[in-house]
């Protein structure tokens, strides 16, 4: 059972109180050793912070942080029916995905709502790996088997045997490169390579949930602690720190990366969530195609937007919103972010009232606070300029 202090921490973090035994990732002992403050999350005992949310957030923006995301679910799809099944279940075009690449997608309902958002890796002509959200693993598995019918026999749940680490930040490549034989410069965004990490066979993918450059590292669960220790030791001179769920949440908010269960769900469509770019109707039939095409043609009745408070306050998840004085939904995500030093948030606003510059109010403990829709993402990482090679001038003839 949770202590009184533990329950209070869960309420502040807006996480569900779980009374049944919590599951543990392969790094649970290491988290305890490093002083992680543990909290229930989606049925797992996870570190919400180590040294502190603010310091971990800033470390990722300026140097690097290592996250344990082994609670995520992993499904392997193999066989001649694998590609066709994923084509029918998801809106993105699996057929266009080349081996060694991944893409962001979703499981969608008939009305275009989001059962879960996910990442699809193409490992071969008839081999895929799909990473889903931790709290949705069982639900997604049931959904795929129900909607996939006999074709779903190509699916194997490999979540228990798989660990996933996320090394994020501008120093991520410099930290990881000495630990892997693969040339990480060739592993571009949303591409991956099978290689060794600290001598352990695994997969390194260039992606993440923070808005920074970085990698997600997939490896056997039994080797996770060894590899994590190796990365932390190698990264210490570069300022690498262990980071928890608290910093992961504020980092993804600054980058306007949606959180399933708060910003996106089955009640809001892919188009309404601003994720229409993953919908590829030309590929053929998939669940929710007709509804999403109709909404695209008619215009979404509401949109997920980013906003900034224009007065002092913090807009947290669930706080009511008023548009022209009338109730208009609630904040889906919000925080005072450590790097930008601004109170920002996400919310759904109706058509005609969701463009940058739109003003509305957020109710914060009975007080109405002015807010304004702003362009997103709130944070965009600086791009490194490529040095151009100077061409030598040809000697004049004669």
| Higher local confidence (pLDDT), 386 or 166 | 166
> Which residues belong to CATH 2.40.30.110 in the chain?
301-374
Confidence of residue 383 (pLDDT cuts 50, 70, 90): confident
Please determine, for residue 241, whether its predicted confidence score (pLDDT) is greater than 70.
yes
pLDDT of residue 59: 98
pLDDT of residue 394: 44
pLDDT tens column, 173-213: 999 999 999 999 999 999 999 999 999 999 999 999 999 99
Contact 364, 319 (CB under 8 A): yes
- Residue among 324, 370, 316, 369 at smallest CA distance from 345: 316
**What is d(CA 358, CA 228) in angstroms, rounded to the nearest whole number?**
45
Q: Which CATH superfamily is domain 73-157 in?
A: Aminomethyltransferase beta-barrel domains (3.30.70.1400)
In the chain, % of residues over pLDDT 70: 91
pLDDT tens column, 16-49: 554 578 999 999 999 999 999 999 998 999 999 9
Buried-exposed string 46-76: b where 16+ CB fall within 10 A, e elsewhere: bbbbbbebbebbbbbbebbbbbbbbbbbbbb
Q: Which CATH superfamily is domain 12-72+161-254 in?
A: Probable tRNA modification gtpase trme; domain 1 (3.30.1360.120)
Please determine, for residue 11, whether its predicted confidence score (pLDDT) is greater than 90.
no
Q: Following CA atoms 208, 211, 214, 216 in sequence, which dihedral angle do they give, to the nearest 10 degrees?
A: -10
pLDDT tens column, 286-300: 999 999 999 999 999
pTM of the model: 0.91
**The architecture CATH gives domain 301-374:** Beta Barrel (2.40)
Q: Give the angle 223-206-51 at the CA atoms, nearest 5°.
A: 65
Residue 265 makes CB contacts below 8 A (sequence gap 6+) with 113, 114
In the chain, % of residues over pLDDT 90: 90
In the chain, the largest separation of any two C-alpha atoms, in whole Å, equals: 90
Q: Give the angle 279-285-288 at the CA atoms, nearest 5°.
A: 60
Segment 330-359 shows an average pLDDT of 97
**What is d(CA 118, CA 278) in angstroms, rounded to the nearest whole number?**
11
Please determine, for residue 387, whether its predicted confidence score (pLDDT) is greater than 90.
no
> Which residues belong to CATH 3.30.1360.120 in the chain?
12-72+161-254
> Which residues belong to CATH 3.30.70.1400 in the chain?
73-157
Contact 237, 175 (CB under 8 A): no
How many other CB atoms are there within 10 angstroms of residue 344's CB atom? 25
Please determine, for residue 130, whether its predicted confidence score (pLDDT) is greater than 60.
yes
Residue 329: CA count within 13 A, CB half-sphere = 21
User: What is the SS3 string spanning the chain?
Assistant: CCCHHHHHHHHHCCCCCCCCCCECCCCHHHHHHCCCEEEEECCEEEEEECCCHHHHHHHHHHCEEEEECCCCEEEEEECCCHHHHHHHHCCCCHHHCCCCEEEEEEEECCCCEEEEEEEEEEEECCEEEEEECHHHHHHHHHHHHHHHHHHHHHEEECCCCEEEEEEECCCHHHHHHHHCCCCHHHCCCCEEEEEEECCEEEEEECCCCCCCCEEEEEEEHHHHHHHHHHHHHHHHHHCEEEECHHHHHHHHHHCCCCCECCCECCCCECCCCCCHHHCCHHHCCCCCHHHHHHHHHHCCCEEEEEEEECCCCCCCCCCEEEECCEEEEEEEEEEECCCCCCEEEEEEEECCCCCCCCEEEEEECCEEEEEEEECCCCCCCCCCCCCCCCCCCCCCCC
Contact 47, 31 (CB under 8 A): yes
Q: How far is CA 319 from CA 48, 223, 276, 314, 328, in A?
A: 22, 42, 26, 10, 11
The label of the residue with tokens 């602690």 reads 225
How many other CB atoms are there within 10 angstroms of residue 19's CB atom? 8
pLDDT tens column, 41-66: 989 999 999 999 999 999 999 999 99
pLDDT of residue 393: 46
pLDDT of residue 14: 54
């Amino acid at each position: 059972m949770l202590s009184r202090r533990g329950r209070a921490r869960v309420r502040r973090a807006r996480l569900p109180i779980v009374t049944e035994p919590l599951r543990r990732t392969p790094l649970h002992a290491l988290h305890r050793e490093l002083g992680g403050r543990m909290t229930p999350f989606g049925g797992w005992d996870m570190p919400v912070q180590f040294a502190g949310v603010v310091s971990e957030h800033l470390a990722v923006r300026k140097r690097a942080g290592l996250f344990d995301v082994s609670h995520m679910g992993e499904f392997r799809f193999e066989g001649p029916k694998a590609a066709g099944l994923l084509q029918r279940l998801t809106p993105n075009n699996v057929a266009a995905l080349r081996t060694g690449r991944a893409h962001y997608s979703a499981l969608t309902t008939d009305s275009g709502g989001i059962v879960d958002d996910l990442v699809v890796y193409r490992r071969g002509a008839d081999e895929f790996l799909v990473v889903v959200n931790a709290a949705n693993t069982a639900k997604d598995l049931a959904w795929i088997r129900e909607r996939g019918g006999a074709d779903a026999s190509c699916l194997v749940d490999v979540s228990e045997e798989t660990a996933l680490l996320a090394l994020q930040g501008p120093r991520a490549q410099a930290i990881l490169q000495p630990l892997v034989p693969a040339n990480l410069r060739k592993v571009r965004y949303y591409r991956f390579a099978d290689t060794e990490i600290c001598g352990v066979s695994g997969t390194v993918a260039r992606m993440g949930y923070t808005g920074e450059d970085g990698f997600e590292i997939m490896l056997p669960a039994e080797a996770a602690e060894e590899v994590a220790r190796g990365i932390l030791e190698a990264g210490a001179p570069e300022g690498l720190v262990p980071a928890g769920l608290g910093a992961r949440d504020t980092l993804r908010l600054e980058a306007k990366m949606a959180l399933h269960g708060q910003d996106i769900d089955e009640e809001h469509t892919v188009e309404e969530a601003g994720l229409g770019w993953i919908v590829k109707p030309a590929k053929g039939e998939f669940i929710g195609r007709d509804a999403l095409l109709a909404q695209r043609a008619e215009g979404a009745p509401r949109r997920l937007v980013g906003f900034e408070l224009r007065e002092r306050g913090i807009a947290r998840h669930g706080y009511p919103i008023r548009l022209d004085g009338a109730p208009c939904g609630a904040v889906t995500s919000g925080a005072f972010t450590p790097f930008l030093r601004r109170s920002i948030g996400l919310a759904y606003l109706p058509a005609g009232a969701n463009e940058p510059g739109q003003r509305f109010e957020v109710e914060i403990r009975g007080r109405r606070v002015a807010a304004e829709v702003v362009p997103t993402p709130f944070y965009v990482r600086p791009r490194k300029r490529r040095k151009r090679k100077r061409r030598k001038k040809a000697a004049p003839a004669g």
